Structure 1
Amino acid sequence: MNRIDDARLPAWASLAETDDEQVPLLGCALLIARDEYPDLDVAACLAQVEAHAASLRPLVEALDDAPLKMQAINRRLFDELGYAGNHDEYYDPRNSYLNMVLDRRLGNPISLAVIQMEVARRLGLHLDGVSFPGHFLVRMPVDDGLLVMDPFNRGRPLGTEELRLRAKPHFGADVPDEALFDILSPAPNRAILSRILRNLHALYVGAGDWARAVRCMDRVLCLDPENAEALRDRGLGYAELGHVAGAVRDLGAHLQRWPESGDADVVRSRLLELLGDGRLAQRTH
């Protein structure tokens, strides 16, 4: 279990070389928040998560059954402390920034999942995130399989048929057991953090806030320098900002590294627009 016991956070520049299992979920979620809130009180945020776990420890340690332990955690977080999914303002960026979720007790599925996972892990429960299509979930191994829960809806357990129904629109057909099991694979911390950043990127692109959109993709590339979509989207964002050199660098690198990608024609066209002539065409085919 990765824990951060003081106010020091990892450096963005160190994360590309950090093994997946060593990427600290809570610490990096707070790094994302600090980009938007530079005066963020990191120690207070960490202490709040620790306090949630400490208040539960006597009760959870007195229970033998893991699902009952998880039920107690969910009751504390969602019923007593009031954490809730922000159904009314789902696309508010504050739902993705962990300091604001801790303050407001409102979040989106993935930010609530981070809090739920971090509290559970401090109490000895192995809770993982699940990059379920459309809606982030959490899972916990139990004796007879998996307990899958929806943090956006008060940690409610989800049965197999409901999961299948939720997945079906994204597959366009019935979802066989093998496919459903694959979808429910645990998401590494790096993937969870990248999904937080991609969610924010989509919001900022929709709002025409290209500086923040570019920042989000830059952070994804700190986590995963080989992320093709992030390199493309940072380049497109640079173009919107008028930073032609940055756009040409990123979009050109994208074509050189992934010349057969499905979006290669779009990227090539944008590059040629930026350069204003056909010189690049010979170099990128």
Structure 2
Amino acid sequence: MKARSRAALEALGALPDERIDLAEAALAFARIDLPEEDPEPVVRHIALLAREAGVLPRAGPAESARALRDLLAVRHGYRGDSETYDDPANANLIRVVARRRGLPVALGILWLKAAEAAGVEAWGIDFPGHFLLGVGGAGAGQGFVVVDVFDAGALRTEEELARMLGSFLGPGTLLGPEHLRRMTRRQVLLRLQNNLRLRRAAAGDLEGALTAAEDMLRVAPEAGSLWREAALLAEALERPRTALAAWERAAALTGEDEAVAALARLRVRLN
């Protein structure tokens, strides 16, 4: 089961970013962590969301966002888990669908799947400390609204975004375009799984953190910074050959001095 899921991630990782199916990739990640769980209920539920979204009326950004909110938050009850936020289940699509609760980015993947089925342009926003969605309309050139899927699909005003930013980066931080960067599909998936990697590392489970990083790299093999993290974890686990291979990829992709120095150090050690 894990081998098939990892093969699926590698196949997705070979695709152009715009062809990656976020829900398929998120489910593959979930199945690696919960190989004993039957994925079919999730597959059927995602198909249902797509069918229901496919009949939503074509509209402008705000109207489209509200229609998606009525589908996902009202009809199906999806919202953020503020009570047990750090529970790993909140980043696992199997558990998120079963509980109708999750982290913003896990919920966002379901929203993005529904938006695609509805013919609505939508994308992840790399907002500091809190994943958000940008939702456009069913036609081009209509602008977009910012949606907080963790808060049952609330549409965030510029003033609200400024307050959220200030609470994370400090009072007086000015909201700018750099805080509303549009994310690629790979970046959304990495943000999802980074929750798992960081939690495992914080708990002292370096083996689990390295496994999470390696699975992330299957879908994002060109992520130089992630190769660096994998290399550091491998070194901490006293796996010099694994670390060497990861540093080689990091050096090739980033050319950073740290990676070059690490390669020299490990080559001397292994000779």
TM-score, normalising length: structure 1: 0.79
Identify the residue that residue 202 of structure 2 maps to in structure 1: 206
* SS of the residue 1:148 aligns to: strand
Identify the residue that residue 239 of structure 1 maps to in structure 2: 235
Q: Note the residue ranges of structure 1 that are not aligned, 5 or more in a row.
A: 1-7
| Stretch moving more, 108-117 or 157-166 | 157-166
Distance, in Å, in 2 between the alignment partners of 1:171 and 1:260 is 30
Identify the residue that residue 103 of structure 1 maps to in structure 2: 98
Q: How does 1:113-152 map to 2 (within 5 A)?
A: 113-142=108-137, 145-152=143-150
| Stretch moving more, 127-136 or 157-166 | 157-166
Distance, in Å, in 1 between the alignment partners of 2:53 and 2:254 is 49
Aligned-pair distance for 1:148? 0.5
Is 2:42 aligned against 1:42?
no
Identify the residue that residue 159 of structure 2 maps to in structure 1: 161
Map Cα deviations across residues 79-103 of structure 1 (whole Å, 9 max, x no partner).
3322121111111111111111000
Identify the residue that residue 29 of structure 1 maps to in structure 2: 26
TM-score, normalising length: structure 2: 0.82
Aligned-pair distance for 1:39? 3.5
Aligned-pair distance for 1:171? 8.2
Rate the CA distance shift 1:146–1:65 in 2: closer, same or farther, 3 A.
Answer: closer
Rate the CA distance shift 1:154–1:228 in 2: closer, same or farther, 3 A.
Answer: same
Q: Choose between structure 1 and 2 for higher RCO, CA contacts under 8 A separated by at least 6 residues.
A: 2
Identify the residue that residue 174 of structure 2 maps to in structure 1: 175
CA RMSD, Structure 1 to Structure 2 (Å): 3.1
Rate the CA distance shift 1:184–1:247 in 2: closer, same or farther, 3 A.
Answer: same
* SS of the residue 1:11 aligns to: helix
Distance, in Å, in 2 between the alignment partners of 1:138 and 1:84 is 14
Distance, in Å, in 1 between the alignment partners of 2:37 and 2:264 is 38
Map Cα deviations across residues 46-76 of structure 1 (whole Å, 9 max, x no partner).
2102213434555x23x75553343132123
Q: Note the residue ranges of structure 2 that are not aligned, 5 or more in a row.
A: none
| Stretch moving more, 144-153 or 249-258 | 249-258
Contact in 2 for aligned 1:83/1:105 (Cα 8 Å)? yes
Aligned-pair distance for 1:31? 1.1
Is 2:181 aligned against 1:192?
no
* SS of the residue 2:145 aligns to: strand
Rate the CA distance shift 1:12–1:79 in 2: closer, same or farther, 3 A.
Answer: closer
Distance, in Å, in 2 between the alignment partners of 1:173 and 1:57 is 42
**Percent identity between the two aligned chains:** 25
Letter in 1 for 2:226: A
